[in-house]
Amino acid sequence: MKGLTRKLGRWIEDRTGLWSAFIRLARHPVPPKVGWAYVFGSATLTAFLLQVVTGITLATAYTPSTGEAYQSLEFITDKALLGNFLRGLHFFGASAMVVLIGIHMIRVFLHASYKYPREVSWISGVVLLGLTLAMGFTGQLLRWDQNAVWSLVVGAEQAGRAPFIGKILAHFLLAGNVVGGATLTRFFAFHVFFLPALIFGFVGLHLYLVLHNGISEPPAEAGPVDPATYRARYEERLEREGKPFFPHAAWRDIAFGAGVILVVGVLAALAGPPPLGRPPDPTIIQADPRPDWYLLWYFAVLALLPHGTEKVLIVLLPLLAGVVLLAVPFLSNRGERRPSRRPWAVLSVVAILTMVGSLTILGYQSPWSPDFSPEPLPDSVVSTLGPQAATGAHLFRQRGCQNCHTVAGVGGRRGPELTLVADRLTRQQMVLRILNGGNNMPAFASILKPREVDALVAFLETLRAPGTTDLPRDDPETGASERAP
């Protein structure tokens, strides 16, 4: 048996050269003092391979059709053997991949490993970052629930506002004029075939470039980069101090990769996948779609942009970010690499992380989104109301005013808080705001009856600071508002 195995090994080596190629890779020299900071690239690849394995497994039970996609996910989650665990692995694996590639790029940027001769390595990494985010976006739609479908509708609507290419972008996203079977088929094809194929291709290029140009030394061990002398100096140091990749550096990659899989597995087992929302229903327009956490920051950016500017910036901002990232190695491909000598690089990373973190938190809070299930108004507000004001309080909730306006800490935050509205608006001003709307508030003139408007205003007139007994009144001659002494 042992002799047969040796013969088989020699036969494979003679026909393919795989064993010698593997040995050359394992013995590839790396600079000394390459530590744990260098493990995030291989860990990202580990997370991607986990996504491939779990994705293939899930695809065997998933049906990419509008009539059966949601039901197939329900089957996978609730009835298939280990289906819920596999969905959890796939979800947390995607999150791990985003986090790890982000940390890897931050490390490369802070260490200035993008400088000569590794400019193309950085460019391929930027492309891989974009492909990773695209995988996350396309994967969310495949859940085919209310949140996923409406997220795509909102995204296509925003993309359609872009000048010149808006209609083309929207048509491309929807695979037509409306969300339908072609939309799901297109996203399934991109998520399962096109994007993974591109990622495999760019990963291959990235690894080839690592072998071709070598792993960059730790900044403290390397002097300033001079393209005229760098290669000769690097090769001379590798010849003198270099150590084989295996086992000198490989054991850390293996250990950390195993840790990533373990953490993802534990999260999948304990937390499970994101719950499925309600099946998609185009007749239900009261939806609050939002992307997965790693795209929430951009969701917040679009929500906070001044009205009208999102038409241009929804496309311009990603393009600008991509251009800046791609330009980094050409703006500075020589000179100092140590972060302590490049404070602008450290400050840039801190600023970006602070911005993305703050916007992500804001994306979870979504103060610009209506609250479609607000709690009832507290007793402190409604317990002492008269009959007309009580009717107005009921209308305030029934007509959806409470979805966007907060009263005594209850309600949405899309519109101004109305807890003390009677201290700043007169009765006439309230009536005009209700009837005419404005600032994203719809006009209710054709919706409410006069007695309903009176009831709403009667309720709003009770919302004032404690101890205030007199309401603002309008001067009958000037129309100016004044408060009685």
Q: What is the 3-state secondary structure (H, E, C) of the chain?
A: CHHHHHHHHHHHHHHHCHHHHHHHHHCCEECCCCCHHHCHHHHHHHHHHHHHHHHHHHHCCCCCCCCCHHHHHHHHHHCCCCHHHHHHHHHHHHHHHHHHHHHHHHHHHHCCCCCCCCHHHHHHHHHHHHHHHHHHHHHHHCCCCHHHHHHHHHHHHHHHCCCCCHHHHHHHHHCCCCCCHHHHHHHHHHHHHHHHHHHHHHHHHHHHHHHHHCCCCCHHHCCCECCCCHHHHHHHHHHHHCEEHHHHCHHHHHHHHHHHHHHHHHHHHHCCCCCCCCCCCCCCCCCCCCCCHHHHHHHHHHHHCCCCCHHHHHHHHHHHHHHHHHHHHHHCCCECCCHHHCHHHHHHHHHHHHHHHHHHHHHHHCCCCCCCCCCCCCHHHHCCCCHHHHHHHHHHHHCCHHHHCEECCEECCCCCCCCCHHHCCCHHHHHHHHHHCECCECCCCCCCCHHHHHHHHHHHCCCCCCCCCCCEEECCCCCCEEECC
User: How high is the pLDDT of residue 313?
Assistant: 77
Question: 346 and 418, same structural domain?
Answer: no
Question: 454 and 352, same structural domain?
Answer: no
- What the block records as the tokens of 95 is 């999150």
Question: 412 and 273, same structural domain?
Answer: no
Calpha distance 394→316 (Å, rounded): 45
Residue 80 lies in a domain: yes
Question: 356 and 395, same structural domain?
Answer: no
Domain that holds residue 37: 25-365
- What the block records as the tokens of 176 is 């037509």
- What the block records as the tokens of 195 is 């994007």
Comparing CA positions, the residue from 402, 409, 404 lying closest to residue 378 is: 409
Q: Which domain CATH number covers 267?
A: 1.20.810.10
Question: 420 and 348, same structural domain?
Answer: no
Question: 234 and 93, same structural domain?
Answer: yes
The burial of 188, by beta-carbon neighbours within 10 Å (0-12 exposed, 13-18 middle, 19 or more buried), is given as buried
How many CA within 13 A on the CB side of residue 385?
Answer: 24
Question: 405 and 357, same structural domain?
Answer: no
Residue 219 lies in a domain: yes
User: How high is the pLDDT of residue 382?
Assistant: 87
Q: What is the separation of C-alpha 271 from the centre of its chain, rounded to a whole number of angstroms?
A: 19
Q: Which residue has the tokens 């779609």?
A: 289
Task: Give yes or no for a contact between 360 and 299, defined as CB atoms under 8 angstroms apart.
Answer: no
Question: 429 and 289, same structural domain?
Answer: no
Domain C-terminal end among 303, 336, 365: 365
Domain C-terminal end among 339, 365, 391: 365
Residue 374 lies in a domain: no
Q: Which domain CATH number covers 404?
A: 1.10.760.10
Calpha distance 309→189 (Å, rounded): 32
Residue 4 lies in a domain: no
Cα–Cα distances in angstroms (integers) from residue 148 to residues 22, 136, 139, 277, in the given order:
43, 12, 9, 9
CA 193, 199, 200, 201 dihedral sign is positive
- Residue 431's contacts (CB-CB under 8 Å, 6 or more residues apart) are 453, 457
Residue 243 lies in a domain: yes
Question: 383 and 346, same structural domain?
Answer: no
What is the model's pTM?
A: 0.82
- The C-alpha R_g of the chain, in whole angstroms, comes to 30
Task: Give yes or no for a contact between 412 and 370, defined as CB atoms under 8 angstroms apart.
Answer: yes
- What the block records as the tokens of 380 is 């402190």
- pLDDT tens-digit profile, the chain (485 residues): 777 888 888 888 888 888 888 888 888 889 988 889 999 999 999 999 999 999 999 999 999 998 899 999 999 999 999 999 999 999 999 999 999 999 999 999 999 999 999 999 999 999 999 999 999 999 988 988 888 888 887 778 777 777 778 788 888 888 888 888 899 999 999 999 999 999 999 999 999 999 999 999 999 887 899 999 999 999 998 988 888 998 888 999 999 999 999 999 999 999 999 888 888 876 665 566 788 899 899 888 877 877 667 667 777 888 899 999 999 999 988 999 999 999 999 999 999 999 999 999 988 888 777 777 788 888 888 888 999 999 999 999 888 888 888 898 888 877 888 999 999 899 999 999 898 887 668 788 888 889 999 999 999 999 988 766 554 444 433 344 444 33
Task: At 473, give phi and psi (nearest 5°).
Answer: -130, 155
Question: 278 and 205, same structural domain?
Answer: yes
Residue 95 lies in a domain: yes
Domain count of the fold of the chain: 2
483 strand-pairing partners: 472
Residue 431 lies in a domain: yes
Question: 272 and 228, same structural domain?
Answer: yes
CA 462, 463, 469, 470 dihedral sign is negative
The amino acid that residue 198 corresponds to is L
Residue 20 lies in a domain: no
User: How high is the pLDDT of residue 222?
Assistant: 78
Question: 355 and 267, same structural domain?
Answer: yes
Q: What phi-psi label fits residue 29: left (phi over 0), alpha (psi between -120 and 50 degrees) or beta?
A: beta
Calpha distance 466→257 (Å, rounded): 61
User: How high is the pLDDT of residue 15?
Assistant: 87
Domain C-terminal end among 335, 365, 395: 365
